[in-house]
Amino acid sequence: MKLTWFGHSAFRIDHGDAHILIDPFLSDNPSWGGGWEAAADGATHVLLTHGHADHIGDSVAILNASGAMLVANFEICRYLVGQGADEASINPGNFGGTVDCGPFRTSFVRAEHSSSMPTGDGQNVYLGNPGGLVLAFDDAPSVYHMGDTDIFSDMALIDEFHRPQVGLVPIGDRFTMGASAAALACRRYFNFTTVIPCHYGTFPLLDQTADAFLEAMEGDAETVTVPEIGKPITL
């Protein structure tokens, strides 16, 4: 399994026949700056944790160019169909549910955040529950993208039920957990073999490095991998 971080919360996972983009905020992502075309080459699936512009990103363009499957909550799926995505591409779910994605399965779990998009008239359209996504493969590590979230005690149930091995963990503060809370979540509630921090460094309001998170992980810092943006790593 190969994983590529494009900055912020945008990831690509390649394993076998699955070429998965999660929260593909690419064209307007100042940490990436490489557009969406190369990052999305051959994409088979687009997974979205919640409905904010810095997570939905280039989803519609990618879906229409690739014919990929869209995996998201029902409200986001319907919203993106309204924005031009092919209705045949959608594979919706919600908390407690697991959907078959062909080469893998995706389970929808809680996140403590919000989810909406502006309508252009000063209002916002509600896009369902913000969530995290657990990807389960038969022959590769399970991956938990937390989405944007605060720490919450039911993370213990997510670990008990899904046993994720790889955690994609927001650490940037202000809109998600900061370094201390994210480290506490990883150390208290999970048994990750690999932790990859995200949602930092993109905008001035966020923490700019993962240094404070690494320090807060203390004796568990060896589980943390901080990838170079755009450079695949093997899990």
What per-residue confidence (pLDDT) applies to 191? 97
What Cα–Cα distance (Å) separates residue 210 from each residue in 60, 65, 102? 31, 34, 34
Provide DSSP, 187-207: HHH---SEEEEES-SSSTTS-
pLDDT digits (tens, 9 = 90+) for 76-111: 999 999 999 999 999 999 999 999 999 999 999 999
CATH code, domain carrying 104: 3.60.15.10
pLDDT grade for 229, boundaries at 50, 70 and 90: very high
pLDDT per residue over 166-203, tens digit each?
A: 999 999 999 999 999 999 999 999 999 999 999 999 99
As a whole-number percent, the residues of the chain with pLDDT over 70 amount to 100
What's the pLDDT score for residue 43? Answer: 98
Give the model's confidence band at 165: pLDDT under 50 very low, under 70 low, under 90 confident, else very high: very high
Flag whether the pTM goes above 0.75: yes
Q: How far apart are CA 229 and CA 6, in angstroms?
A: 5
The contacts of residue 170 (CB under 8 Å, 6+ apart) are: 9, 146, 147, 148, 149, 176, 177, 182, 197, 198, 199, 200
Mean pLDDT of the chain: 98
For residue 115, the model assigns a pLDDT of 98
pLDDT of residue 95: 98
Q: What is the mean pLDDT of residues 40-52?
A: 98
Domain count across the chain: 1
Q: Which of 63, 10, 11, 9 is nearest to 1 (CA)?
A: 11
- Residue 210 and residue 28: Cα distance in Å, rounded? 22
Q: Residue 213 — pLDDT band, cuts 50, 70, 90?
A: very high
Range of the domain at 136: 2-234
